[in-house]
Structure 1
Amino acid sequence: MMKRILVFFLLFCQLPSLAQISNNEGLIEYQAVFEDTDDFGPEYLELIEKSLPKVEESDVRLQMLWDLGYYTHTRNLRRSLFFIKQGLDEAQNAGSKIWEGRMQVAQGAVLLRMEQLDQAEQVLNSALEKLPESETWLLLTNLGYVYERRGDLGKAFEFASQTLQLGEKYGDTKAIAMAYSDISNLFWKQGKPEEGLEYGLKSLTLFEQRGIKDLDFDFTLHVTGNNLVMLGRYQEALPYFQRSTQIGKQYGFYNNLSDTYIALTDLYLALEDYSNAENSGKEALKYAELLQNEFMVVRSLLSLGKVKKEQGLYEEATIYLNRSIRTATEDFGDRYFLGLIYRELAESYEGLQDIPNSYRAFKKYHELNQAVFNAEADQRIAQLQTAMDVNQKESIISLQEEALKRQKIVQIFTLLITALMVFFLFFLYRVFVKRKKYSQLLERQNLEKEFLLKEIHHRVKNNLETISSLLALQTAQIDNTELQDIMVESQNRVQSMGMIHQNLYQGENLAAIEMKNYFVNLGSYIIDSFDATDRISMEVNMDTLELDVDRAIPIGLIVNELITNSLKYAFPDRRKGEIMVSLKEDKEHLYLRVADNGKGMSKSKPVEGTGFGTQLVELLTKQLDGKMTLSTQQGTEVFFEFKTKKAA
């Protein structure tokens, strides 16, 4: 999409040397990532990020930010959006519509991988009017991915066809190779591996001619291997997967690595090599979790469930598969893979002789699969339905036989005893039916309440994220640095509350939050928001501890304020340092400690900033019936003691 950028200007400070950025007698030369060369290692993104503050020329900065934003999505989706947001701001400030459109293409690509399909489509359509036609092939490719995730493979084919036409019109080898790659993947999804293999090999030929091992070449190796596996040509598929993982590890393509290890799981399953299959599934899950990509986590759990099912470990298989469904949630866009999960779950329940659950799972699979392909699942559902009917008839026959035996016994007794026994049995039967119905009603109500409670927390989290996004957008419009700091702090406060609700609906316990993991995630988010990841580390030294929402939210806000204060004031001049957080419970008290090894503070020195954060901490401490102790001997340490039970 973007050709090589060569910009020369005087350099007053030394830049690191790498394939994209070089210092030639006081002049800088920058080449766009994976456009002219792939001669670099996995640290290329870190080196570009370190070099960015020393570059002043607008077009070069925007190219570097695009590279950072787009390729960071292979490792960390949220950090990728951070760079893209910076690029959008600089493009708008420079009045460059074309760079704004390019940044939106990268933003749409990241959003769809975060399963925010509607927002991704909206951003991509907005970019369409800002770009020249010759550059729109990457935009059209990602629009095709949006519809693929929704299960509309016909629409996805249309976009791949448009990409191919643009590539041929402008002689763009990369666009043509990408179109062939996407068509190969769509044929594979349709269960047409012969056609898929043909287009995959055509795509690889063009990528080899281009001579650059990039993200899309890596993906095409994986897709070609998938088609070979579906054709049963397992030994031929293995080298494609091995080369794909080699490239993925060389450049840190976590998304492709997870994808390829999932495919390797299927390959090893076909070879009945269960040990390697399980190891591949675990590798896929590892990279998916590093990427924090729920779509890949769902598919990795599906692969592990398939391994356990094929081994006949049906109970373990249902655990992985149900976890996969819970991770997907109701908003999961890709009905194709969701259908596969329910199919594997149906077969696992069938292996456990749980015919009712098997029938329900297979019916769900049929609905999802039919929505994607209009496929033929009726016969399988009919078989399960017949099995259920047979079980019910056998139960009825068994009850009738028991009734006949009782009738023979009852005939020996007198009519009076018979009448009393019949009445007693009838009474017991009615009690049993009522209790059974009541038990089923309670179970159904509990499930509904659990679902509704999770949905409420999910919606609250989404609303808080929306507020956080609005604050971020508003912040971008403010020139006053103090007001910007206030808005960022407000955004972090909202985010800290949002994380609470996210933990609630994703966790097993709907009434409590595990605080250690929460502090780790909160600290990572705040440090990242201050762009201090490379110099500030955070240690959470505590055991796992669960707190209810009423205590978790105020304590989360307190920790948020103290970490923010440390980042703002404790480490001047970009000094490196460490922040320590711990929380423990002892009988009827909670003890919270937040400390840093920064410059410390003087009690006689006036409060820096607005003082709002200090007031908020004091107010929240009173709310929790606690007391606070401040120590400034070595760095700054704030110690809190809270009562776990308020006095009546």
Structure 2
Amino acid sequence: MKRFFILVFVLFQIQLEAQVVSKDGKVEYSKVFEETDDFGADYLEKIEQSLPSVKETELRLQMLWDLGYYYHTRNLRKSLSVINQGLEEARMAESELWEGRMQVAQGAILLRMEQLVQAEEVLQSALEKLPESETWLLLTNLGYVQERRGDLGKAFELATQTLQLGEKYGERKAMAMAYSDISNLFWKQGKPEQGLEYGLKSLALFEERGIQDLDFDFTLHVTGNNLIALGRNEEALPYFQQSIRMGKQYGFYNNLSDTYIALTDLYVALGDFENAEISGKEALKYAELLQNEFMVVRSLLSLGKVKKEQGFYQDAITYLGRSIRTATEDFGDRYFLSLIYRELAEAYEGAGEISNSYQAFKRYHELDQSVFNAEADQRIAQLQTEMDVTQKEGIISLQEEALKRQNIIQIFTLLFTALMVFFLFFLYRVFVKRKKYSQLLEKQNREKEFLLKEIHHRVKNNLETISSLLALQTAQIENEELQDIMIESQNRVQSMGMIHQNLYQGENLAAIEMKNYFKNLGAFIIDSFDASARISLEVEMEPLELDVDRAIPIGLIVNELITNSLKYAFPDGRDGEILISLKKDQDHLYLKVADDGAGMKKNNPTLGTGFGTQLVALLTKQLDGKMTLSTQKGTELYFEFKTNKAA
């Protein structure tokens, strides 16, 4: 097509402006980034200059759409003005198809102006006007709306629908964009391996298509992000460099800002803070040229991260505070807003402002609830504990301490009443800074080790208090079924308390020796059922240490299975034996819990409330594991977990 236009230019002395060709008074036009990408950054100005001479309705609407849609990469307000003109002309021409197309572009622009509600309304309206074969771009932008709101599950669903439409109609651009969006969503969920896989699939389709466009540029940036998350920083750099070349060639200010933000993170990871700050300021420059508050917020976030990593905490707080003020309370993207508060909390912590750090982490946790993130819970618990430990003696009266304990009891009572299964896992991480003198470093390490043991001791004591309260409450309940539920809840709390007891009593503050833990846990549960005289426990395994993130869920699984054996495997008070073993083989853990009791049938209905069975299934899934049941001799349950999967 491009060679044809050049030939026409030579033979007929035509006027050529980018992809707009005037020949004998008639305008011929090649759609940008569909039929051609052979133009420079001034292509929008060329279309705008040619538009007044175009009278044919269909051609005018196509040019207005291209002009308005691609102007959103540079000037959102102008882009919206052009699309509104196109929408008005489409309605005057009574073209429902072009009205729907213009609304898709209008929704995309409103989305980038952070007007999420209006964007969704416009896109839903357009859905009724377009044939199914053209709805993939609409669904893509609906996915972006959900992503900005923090509903990554819904965004993933819409990306999948886009992929299915692309496959159905053979539209490679739709498939490439769907893979690109899925790659970005996996990156946001902290799954860069899957993100890289889909990013490379998307790039392959874009290269087959042979057109460099806005979404090809964005996918280069997303693929680089996933490589950074995998620690493959040197491999990520060429993707960002190609993205920047493409963005500058076509004037994609939003992608340039995005890519410079990613480059900032890359240079920070490489320890090159000078180039990191330069990239952050370039990101902010293009964001301000675009007048896009979303990109300004993220650019300021990247500059705040640079200063925080350099140890310039007050500078970091200034940038991050400015980012939050720019976002305002109506900022739609909870994912990036949560990142700002996380960075701000760490900057406050570095500056020694523990109270402000706690408040920032609390806000981060609230924003991050839509995607489960144990780190937020752990950090909030850590900072709360740190504040309690560092306060001067005598400031908090006995009455305030009693009130605090009462509040904790009320919180846990509410959680158990609502049958919530997630607890806050208290974990304190000691950050060791390099100091000039080794003696000072050793002294700090000893102080922090003592503090960490004290925290685990306090957590264990609090859990024992909760366990005792549950025991007192159980004694007042006459209903046997409710008593069983309370006893099981008490055992679950006790199993977590034993973890923290082992941590502060042992030499290794980061890991639990599981053989001794299983023995103590099993003895406690058997004793709680008054079955010590008739049920024996065997723990057949070598000493094995696990980190807390795996030890707690595995302990809860074993707790549930021992409880089930005691309740159902030995009817009529018969004697029996329970066997536990845990082995590690390369990158897998193998857990076995068996009894020689009556046996459980695979198809039998669940006995009791079924809560224990649901809890075991949930914890197994959390550990990325699988469970196998065998009933040949009593009941044997086998579990296989990946050791590189954090709980």
**TM tier, smaller:** 0.5 to 0.7
Give the conservation status (yes or no) of the 8 Å contact 2:148–2:332: yes
Structure 2 residue 48 is the aligned partner of structure 1 residue 49: yes
Q: Is the partner of 2:17 in helix, strand or coil?
A: coil
Q: Which residue of 2 aligns with 1:144?
A: 143
Q: Which residue of 2 aligns with 1:337?
A: 336
Q: What is the deviation of 1:367? A: 1.2
Q: Which residue of 1 aligns with 2:291?
A: 292
Q: What is the deviation of 1:197? A: 0.2
Q: Is the partner of 2:55 in helix, strand or coil?
A: coil
Cα distance in 1 for residues equivalent to 2:14 and 2:93: 24
Give the conservation status (yes or no) of the 8 Å contact 1:190–1:373: no
Q: What is the deviation of 1:22? A: 1.3
Q: Which residue of 2 aligns with 1:372?
A: 371
Q: Which residue of 2 aligns with 1:304?
A: 303
Give the conservation status (yes or no) of the 8 Å contact 2:298–2:336: yes
Give the conservation status (yes or no) of the 8 Å contact 2:47–2:67: yes
Q: Deviations over 1:269-296 (max 9, x none)?
A: 0001000000000000000000000000
Matches within 5 A, 1:72-83: 72-83=71-82
Structure 2 residue 227 is the aligned partner of structure 1 residue 233: no
Give the conservation status (yes or no) of the 8 Å contact 1:366–1:378: yes
Structure 2 residue 260 is the aligned partner of structure 1 residue 261: yes
Cα distance in 1 for residues equivalent to 2:44 and 2:328: 32
Give the conservation status (yes or no) of the 8 Å contact 2:27–2:54: no
Q: Is the partner of 2:368 in helix, strand or coil?
A: helix
Q: Which residue of 1 aligns with 2:30?
A: 31
Residue identity opposite 1:292 in structure 2: Q
Cα distance in 2 for residues equivalent to 1:16 and 1:395: 86
Q: What TM-score comes out, normalization by structure 2 length?
A: 0.59
Structure 2 residue 361 is the aligned partner of structure 1 residue 362: yes
Q: What is the deviation of 1:164? A: 0.3
Matches within 5 A, 1:70-219: 70-219=69-218
Q: Deviations over 1:115-148 (max 9, x none)?
A: 1000000000000000000000000000000000
Cα distance in 2 for residues equivalent to 1:150 and 1:274: 32
Cα distance in 2 for residues equivalent to 1:147 and 1:385: 33
Cα distance in 2 for residues equivalent to 1:86 and 1:15: 29
Residue identity opposite 2:85 in structure 1: Q
Q: Is the partner of 1:74 in helix, strand or coil?
A: coil
Give the conservation status (yes or no) of the 8 Å contact 2:192–2:230: yes
Cα distance in 2 for residues equivalent to 1:301 and 1:87: 35
Q: Is the partner of 1:333 in helix, strand or coil?
A: coil
Q: What TM-score comes out, normalization by structure 1 length?
A: 0.59
Q: Which residue of 1 aligns with 2:416?
A: none
Q: Which residue of 1 aligns with 2:388?
A: 389
Q: What is the deviation of 1:351? A: 0.7
Q: What is the deviation of 1:374? A: 4.8
Structure 2 residue 229 is the aligned partner of structure 1 residue 224: no
Give the conservation status (yes or no) of the 8 Å contact 1:261–1:283: yes
Cα distance in 1 for residues equivalent to 2:221 and 2:83: 27
Q: What is the deviation of 1:15? A: 8.0
Q: Deviations over 1:365-386 (max 9, x none)?
A: 1111123335442221111111
Residue identity opposite 1:65 in structure 2: L
Structure 2 unaligned spans of 5+: 6-12, 398-647
Q: Which residue of 1 aligns with 2:57?
A: 58
Q: Is the partner of 2:28 in helix, strand or coil?
A: strand
Q: Which residue of 1 aligns with 2:350?
A: 351
Give the conservation status (yes or no) of the 8 Å contact 2:183–2:197: yes
Cα distance in 1 for residues equivalent to 2:385 and 2:26: 78
Residue identity opposite 1:286 in structure 2: K
Give the conservation status (yes or no) of the 8 Å contact 1:180–1:200: yes
Q: Deviations over 1:478-521 (max 9, x none)?
A: xxxxxxxxxxxxxxxxxxxxxxxxxxxxxxxxxxxxxxxxxxxx
Give the conservation status (yes or no) of the 8 Å contact 2:152–2:185: yes
Cα distance in 2 for residues equivalent to 1:349 and 1:240: 34
Residue identity opposite 2:28 in structure 1: E
Give the conservation status (yes or no) of the 8 Å contact 1:369–1:375: no
Cα distance in 1 for residues equivalent to 2:291 and 2:22: 36
Matches within 5 A, 1:606-617: none
Cα distance in 2 for residues equivalent to 1:47 and 1:57: 18
Cα distance in 1 for residues equivalent to 2:373 and 2:352: 28
Give the conservation status (yes or no) of the 8 Å contact 2:163–2:179: yes
Paired positions, count: 387
Q: What is the deviation of 1:395? A: 5.9
Cα distance in 2 for residues equivalent to 1:342 and 1:260: 22
Q: Is the partner of 1:42 in helix, strand or coil?
A: coil
Cα distance in 1 for residues equivalent to 2:286 and 2:153: 30
Residue identity opposite 2:271 in structure 1: E
Give the conservation status (yes or no) of the 8 Å contact 2:14–2:23: no
Q: Deviations over 1:416-446 (max 9, x none)?
A: xxxxxxxxxxxxxxxxxxxxxxxxxxxxxxx
Q: Which residue of 1 aligns with 2:247?
A: 248
Cα distance in 2 for residues equivalent to 1:173 and 1:94: 31
Give the conservation status (yes or no) of the 8 Å contact 2:293–2:327: yes
Q: Deviations over 1:193-226 (max 9, x none)?
A: 0000000000000000000000000000000000
Cα distance in 1 for residues equivalent to 2:49 and 2:28: 16
Residue identity opposite 1:382 in structure 2: A
Give the conservation status (yes or no) of the 8 Å contact 2:183–2:194: yes
Structure 1 unaligned spans of 5+: 1-5, 7-13, 399-648
Cα distance in 2 for residues equivalent to 1:82 and 1:15: 31
Residue identity opposite 1:174 in structure 2: K
Q: Is the partner of 1:40 in helix, strand or coil?
A: coil
Cα distance in 2 for residues equivalent to 1:15 and 1:65: 22
Residue identity opposite 1:179 in structure 2: A
Cα distance in 1 for residues equivalent to 2:376 and 2:14: 61
Give the conservation status (yes or no) of the 8 Å contact 2:305–2:343: yes
Change (3 A) 1:104 1:139: same
Q: Is the partner of 2:27 in helix, strand or coil?
A: strand
- Mean alpha-carbon deviation: is it higher for 360-369 or for 60-69? 360-369
Q: Is the partner of 1:372 in helix, strand or coil?
A: coil
Give the conservation status (yes or no) of the 8 Å contact 1:16–1:47: no
Q: Is the partner of 1:377 in helix, strand or coil?
A: helix
Q: What is the deviation of 1:28? A: 2.5
Q: Deviations over 1:82-106 (max 9, x none)?
A: 1001100100000000000000000
Cα distance in 1 for residues equivalent to 2:331 and 2:124: 22
Give the conservation status (yes or no) of the 8 Å contact 1:370–1:376: no
Q: What is the deviation of 1:20? A: 1.5
